[in-house]
């Protein structure tokens, strides 16, 4: 029994944990938790990191109005507001004067090194006498154009137009959008477009939620001022995270409420005292408190699914306390709580250990969310067990007596079991065989490994996202080529090679086009090759002068060009320099740090033949074509299959534990068979309902098996000790209904992931309750067995 001092210490510890959890609890729906970590595969790590990268942190805003000019003005205003927002890293809505000046300052000195990305092939032709003459002719004609304003001042130093070509390339990087009144608009001019990047992860639903709320408020204020049918739409990964969190939080409220009401009613029926209910609920609540606190300490934050799973733990962990409560309350003759606890300790410990065994495998998986789930479950279960064995007896001593109806119900259950036991064994086996026969439906189970189907999003949100993406003709964000390199120079060099190869692939029709860093920068090595080719043409200045003179240019007009050619070349233009300049935002979609390496991304449009792209890039180190969606689906298929194998492994562990405990095949099988049959029947039900089975169904099966084994153990131990079996069945019913209520509400969730857990676990636990006594009755050694043996 607990002393006063120990009780106070425990209360203080509980308070401390509650305060800590209250201050630090942040529920996220981070998809990266569902991606594997570790060094299992470089692509897995890459995919995991890309899920939280500038690619997912970019938000596209589309603004429409009755008059396009109003939309543009509103976009200007909104952009100004967003630039000052602490959560916004960058806003892209126009090409500013600063950009042009910076382009000139950074690029013009390097114009000779940026003449051609195939200098050895192109430059000898381009710098031939005939081509120089043609260039001079073209230039003279263009000087008559009003557009000469843009290049005439630079012609003397750049008669070959290298800088102008770079500027055009730089300005055309957003080929799908155009500029009107200094604002990016869609090609049809109907929608003003803003692009912005967030500082926080797209899956940090707290930050994203605040930003999106501020965005709506700011836009509402603009609408109030300008009106004119202004409408804002957006495409943002973060919006989905926020919507998912809101949905999960909303559902968690009624899941917890529904569970609490159901459990309360159950306990009022069979325990009939608020104190009894509090006593029984205390150990599982302790388990949840410790699990939340320790998970926060270990992982820093909790995933939404882990939290939902945690609330469901109440249904599992309550088994131990109500088992104790009912056995203590129904004991004849009456006994002390310590005596009851000692009597049931073996069953409770074995039940908890088998549950832990079924979760151990998950703890070893590379998926953070499932590690969290396993950690949460193991911590919660062990804490609940400890609380049941060491705290509950103290509280039970003060619990009121159970109502008479509970004793009556237990007696009914006892009689019902005795009837069952008297049935011919073949009938009992027929029931078990029927369940076993459900195995024939297993081949019909349809497995779904589409990760996107684990979460259900608001169709309106999905449509809005699609509309906005279509307006900006966003490139396929899930399929791209990515190169990894230890430093910037190597990264850009790899990108040069990728660009060259993808251009060749595009010529075959396997790919429509690409969007690449190559439009903005070439590697130092490629820049040097340009200069090398120029250096190999010592008479270029004279030939150029002659060609241009022949077309009416003044002799010596290009002295600035000759000086640049003759002088020492500047150091190559490098990525680091550009990233440290005001132009850095332009590079954000293409270059970012990925761990300790630099990643360069090439976006693909119209990828018709991934095989051709893979083949073209096959011999390049650290270069990958990443089809993220199919890649992740592949990972999940692999993980599901691994999990199914782990069920077998976990079952083996459970069998081992049971064998160590019972050292006889009959009780081992009696305790184990219900859980095994439940797995078969649940899968058969899914096949019968044509409900695609996914990873979470499998995960739930792991849980059901652990709980089912508990029921088997309690039955086997109880019947084996000659105790009143009705008390055991009643406590199991209470636990079963509690769990079914908790998971039953999960099955009503709109989120497929929660529904999968709820359906599998709810159905499974009811079956476990039904099968546990049946299995014991069928397999328990009867006097006839002993006679036959003996």
User: Going by C-beta distance under 8 Å and a sequence separation of 6 or more, which residues neighbour residue 592?
Assistant: 53, 54, 598, 599, 601
Which is it for strands 88-92 and 192-198: parallel, antiparallel or unpaired? antiparallel
Q: Which of 33, 183, 383, 455 binds another protein (CB under 8 A)?
A: 183
Nearer CB in complex with another protein: 151/649: 151
Shortest spacing between CB 597 and another protein, in angstroms: 35
User: Minimum CB separation from another protein for residue 756, in Å?
Assistant: 50
Q: Which of 463, 514, 477, 452 is nearest to 57 (CA)?
A: 477
Which of residues 111 and 640 has its CB atom nearest to another protein in the complex?
Answer: 111
Report the DSSP beta bridge partners of residue 387: none
E strand or H helix that includes residue 233: strand 231-235
Name the DSSP letter for residue 197.
E
Q: Between residues 101 and 216, which has the closer beta carbon with respect to another protein?
A: 101
Strands 27-28 and 302-303: parallel
Q: Which of 104, 254, 427, 665 binds another protein (CB under 8 A)?
A: 104
**Does residue 567 touch another protein according to CB under 8 A?**
no
Residue closer to another protein by CB (options 164, 622) is 164
Binding of another protein at residue 559 (CB under 8 A)?
Answer: no
β-pair type (58-64, 231-235): antiparallel
CB of 489 to another protein, least distance (A): 28
Does 178 sit near another protein (CB under 8 A)? yes
| Residue with Cβ nearer another protein (189 or 509) | 189
Residue from 6, 121, 141, 508 binding another protein (CB under 8 A): 141
Nearer to another protein by Cβ, of 582 and 610: the residue is 582
CA torsion through residues 35, 38, 44, 50, sign: positive
Contact status: 630 vs another protein (CB under 8 A): no
Q: Find the part of the chain contacting another protein (CB under 8 A) among 153-161, 212-220, 344-352, 503-511.
A: 153-161
- In the complex with another protein, the residue whose CB is nearer, 183 or 749, is 183
Interface stretch with another protein, choices 101-109, 335-343, 633-641, 647-655 (CB under 8 A): 101-109
Question: Does residue 101 bind another protein (CB under 8 A)?
Answer: yes
Closest CB to another protein among residues 478, 541: 541
- What is 586-611 written as a DSSP string? HHTTTEEEETTEEEEEEEEEEE--HH
- By beta-carbon proximity to another protein, the closer residue of 145 and 217 is 145
CB of 569 to another protein, least distance (A): 20
In this chain, which of 9, 83, 125, 150 binds another protein, going by CB under 8 A? 150
Binding status of residue 156 toward another protein by CB under 8 A: yes
360 binds another protein (CB under 8 A): no
User: Residue 765: CB partners within 8 Å, gap ≥ 6?
Assistant: 315, 704, 707, 708, 736, 739, 740, 743
Within residues 56-75, the interface with another protein by CB under 8 A covers 69
CB atoms within 10 A of CB 520: 21
The three-point CA angle 592-594-597 to 5° equals 95
Minimum CB–partner distance for residue 222 and another protein (Å): 19
Q: Which is nearer to another protein, 8 or 550 (CB)?
A: 550
Element (H, E) at 500: helix 488-507
* DSSP letter, residue 388: I
* Residues 700, 706: Cα–Cα separation, whole Å: 10
One of 38, 86, 96, 229 touching another protein (CB under 8 A): 96
Least separation in angstroms between CB 136 and another protein: 10
The set of residues, in sequence order, having a beta carbon less than 8 Å from that of 434 and lying 6+ positions away, is: none
- Quote the longest CA-to-CA distance of the chain: 123
In angstroms, give the least distance from the CB of 150 to another protein: 6
Residues 524-553 that bind another protein (CB under 8 A): 549, 552-553
Q: Is residue 149 near another protein by the rule CB under 8 A?
A: yes
Residue 182 binds another protein, judged by CB under 8 A: yes
Instruction: Quote the CA–CA distance of 359 and 646 in Å, as a whole number.
Output: 10
Nearer Cβ to another protein, position 415 or 554? Answer: 554
- φ and ψ of 231, to 5 deg: -135, 135
Size of the residue set binding another protein (CB under 8 A) = 38
Helix (H) or strand (E) holding 333: none
d(CA 258, CA 175): 53
- Is 152 a binding residue for another protein by CB under 8 A? The answer is yes
Number of neighbouring beta carbons within 10 Å of residue 555? 10
Among 10, 25, 143, 272, binds another protein (CB under 8 A): 143
Q: Of the ranges 75-83, 178-186, 199-207, 665-673, which one interacts with another protein (CB under 8 A)?
A: 178-186
- Is 343 one of the binding residues for another protein (CB under 8 A)? no
Closest CB 171 distance from another protein, rounded Å: 9
367-426: which residues touch another protein (CB under 8 A)? Answer: none
Stretch that binds another protein, among 32-40, 117-125, 172-180, 425-433 (CB under 8 A): 172-180
For residues 316 and 739, the answer to whether their CB atoms sit within 8 Å is yes
DSSP state of 3: -
Per CB under 8 A, the list member of 8, 19, 100, 535 interacting with another protein is 100
Output the DSSP codes for 194-241.
EEEEESS-TT-HHHHHHHHHHHHHHHHHHHHHH-TT-EEEEE-HHHHH
Least distance in Å: CB of 148 to another protein? 7
| Element spanning 235, H or E | strand 231-235
Among 43, 180, 439, 537, binds another protein (CB under 8 A): 180
Task: Give φ, ψ of 594 to 5 degrees.
Answer: -125, 95
Of the candidate spans 136-144, 251-259, 295-303, 481-489, the one that interacts with another protein by CB under 8 A turns out to be: 136-144
Nearest CB to another protein, comparing residues 38 and 96? 96
* Measured distance CA(289)–CA(380) in Å, rounded: 8
CB of 166 to another protein, least distance (A): 13
- Least distance from another protein to the Cβ atom of residue 103, Å: 9
Angle of CA points 207, 213, 218, to nearest 5°: 125
Among 184, 302, 511, 729, binds another protein (CB under 8 A): 184
Binding mask 722-761 for another protein (x = CB under 8 A): ----------------------------------------
Give yes or no for residue 97 binding another protein (CB under 8 A). Answer: yes
- In the region spanning residues 18 to 57, those forming contacts with another protein, defined by CB under 8 A, are none
- Three-state DSSP at 122 gives helix
- Is residue 60 classed as helix, strand or coil in its secondary structure? strand
| CB 582, min distance to another protein, A | 14
Residue 154 touches another protein, criterion: CB under 8 A = yes
Per CB under 8 A, does 142 bind another protein? yes
Q: d(Cα 745, Cα 95) in Å, to the nearest integer? A: 53
Rounded CA-CA distance 300/296 in Å is 5
User: Crossing angle, helix 695-720 and helix 368-386, to 10 degrees?
Assistant: 20
Q: Considering only residues 23, 84, 130, 144, which one is a binding residue for another protein as defined by CB under 8 A?
A: 144
Q: What burial class does residue 734 get, using C-beta atoms within 10 Å of its C-beta: 0-12 exposed, 13-18 middle, 19+ buried?
A: buried
Q: Which of helix, strand or coil describes residue 461?
A: helix
- Torsion sign, CA atoms 59, 60, 64, 68: positive
Partners of 60 in the beta sheet? 195, 235
- CA dist., res. 700 & res. 763, Å (int): 11
We find the least distance from the C-beta atom of residue 289 to another protein, in angstroms, to be: 57
Contacts with another protein, residue ranges (CB under 8 A): 69, 94-97, 100-101, 104, 108, 140-150, 152-156, 178-184, 549, 552-555, 557
């Amino acid at each position: 029994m607990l002393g006063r001092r120990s009780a106070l210490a425990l209360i203080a510890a509980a308070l401390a944990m509650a305060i800590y959890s209250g201050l630090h609890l942040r529920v996220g729906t981070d998809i990266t938790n569902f991606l594997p970590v570790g060094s299992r595969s470089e692509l897995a790590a890459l995919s995991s990191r890309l899920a939280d990268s500038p690619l997912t942190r970019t938000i596209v805003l589309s603004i429409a109005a009755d008059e396009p000019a109003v939309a543009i003005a509103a976009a200007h205003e909104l952009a100004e507001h967003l630039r000052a927002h602490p959560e916004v890293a960058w806003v892209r809505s126009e090409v500013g004067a600063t950009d042009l000046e910076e382009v000139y300052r950074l690029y013009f000195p390097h114009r000779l090194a940026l003449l051609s990305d195939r200098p050895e092939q192109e430059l000898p032709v381009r710098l031939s006498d005939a081509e120089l003459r043609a260039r001079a002719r073209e230039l003279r004609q263009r000087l008559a154009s009003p557009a000469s304003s843009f290049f005439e001042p630079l012609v003397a130093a750049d008669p070959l137009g290298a800088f102008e070509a770079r500027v055009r390339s730089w300005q055309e990087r957003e080929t799908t959008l155009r500029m009107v009144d200094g604002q990016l608009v869609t090609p049809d001019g109907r929608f003003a477009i803003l692009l912005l990047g967030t500082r926080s992860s797209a899956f940090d639903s707290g930050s994203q939620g605040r930003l999106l709320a501020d965005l709506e408020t700011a836009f509402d204020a603009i609408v109030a001022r300008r009106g004119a049918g202004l409408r804002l739409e957006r495409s943002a990964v973060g919006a989905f995270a926020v919507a998912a969190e809101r949905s999960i939080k909303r559902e968690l409220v009624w899941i917890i409420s529904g569970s609490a009401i159901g459990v309360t009613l159950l306990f009022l029926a069979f325990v009939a005292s608020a104190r009894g209910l509090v006593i029984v609920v205390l150990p599982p609540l302790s388990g949840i408190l410790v699990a939340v606190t320790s998970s926060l300490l270990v992982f820093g934050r909790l995933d939404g699914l882990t939290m939902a799973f945690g609330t469901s733990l109440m249904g599992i962990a309550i088994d131990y306390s109500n088992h104790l409560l009912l056995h203590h309350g129904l004991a004849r003759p009456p006994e002390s709580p310590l005596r009851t606890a000692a009597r049931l300790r073996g069953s409770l410990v074995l039940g908890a250990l088998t549950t832990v065994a079924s979760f151990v495998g998950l703890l070893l998986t590379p998926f953070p969310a499932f590690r969290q789930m396993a950690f949460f479950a193991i911590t919660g279960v062990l804490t609940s067990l400890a609380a049941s064995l060491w705290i509950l007896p103290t509280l039970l001593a003060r619990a009121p007596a159970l109502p008479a109806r509970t004793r009556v119900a237990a007696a009914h259950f006892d009689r019902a079991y005795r009837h069952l036991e008297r049935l011919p064994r073949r009938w009992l086996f027929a029931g078990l065989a029927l369940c076993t026969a459900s195995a024939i439906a297993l081949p019909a189970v349809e497995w779904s490994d589409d990760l996107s189907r684990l979460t259900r999003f608001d169709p309106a949100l999905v449509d809005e996202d699609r509309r906005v993406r279509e307006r900006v003709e966003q490139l396929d964000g899930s399929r791209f080529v990515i190169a990894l390199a230890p430093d910037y120079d190597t990264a850009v060099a790899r990108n040069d090679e990728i660009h060259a190869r993808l251009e060749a692939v595009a010529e075959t029709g396997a790919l429509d086009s690409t969007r690449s860093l190559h439009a903005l920068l070439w590697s130092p090595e490629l820049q040097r090759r340009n200069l090398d080719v120029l250096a190999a043409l010592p008479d270029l200045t004279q030939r150029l002068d002659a060609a241009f003179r022949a077309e009416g240019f003044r002799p010596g007009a290009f002295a600035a060009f000759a000086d640049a050619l003759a002088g020492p070349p500047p150091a190559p233009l490098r990525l680091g320099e550009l990233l440290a300049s005001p132009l850095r935002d332009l590079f954000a979609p293409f270059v970012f740090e990925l761990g300790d390496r630099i990643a360069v991304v090439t976006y693909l449009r119209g990828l018709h033949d991934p095989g051709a792209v893979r083949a073209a890039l096959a011999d390049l180190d650290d270069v990958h074509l990443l089809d993220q969606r199919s890649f992740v689906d592949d990972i999940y298929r692999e993980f599901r299959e691994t999990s199914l194998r782990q069920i077998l492994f976990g079952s083996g562990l459970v069998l081992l534990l049971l064998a160590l405990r019972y050292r006889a095949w009959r009780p081992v099988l009696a305790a184990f068979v219900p859980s095994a049959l439940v797995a078969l029947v649940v899968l058969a039900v899914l096949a019968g309902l044509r409900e695609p089975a996914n990873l979470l169904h499998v995960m739930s099966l792991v849980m059901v098996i652990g709980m089912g084994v508990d029921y088997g153990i309690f039955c086997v131990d109880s019947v084996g000790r000659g105790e009143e079996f009705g008390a055991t069945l009643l406590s199991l019913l209470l636990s079963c209904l509690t769990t079914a209520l908790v998971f039953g509400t999960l099955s009503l969730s709109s989120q497929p992931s929660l529904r999968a857990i709820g359906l599998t676990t709810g159905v499974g636990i009811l079956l476990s309750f039904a099968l546990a006594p049946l299995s014991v009755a069928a397999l328990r050694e009867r006097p006839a067995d002993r006679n036959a043996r003996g």
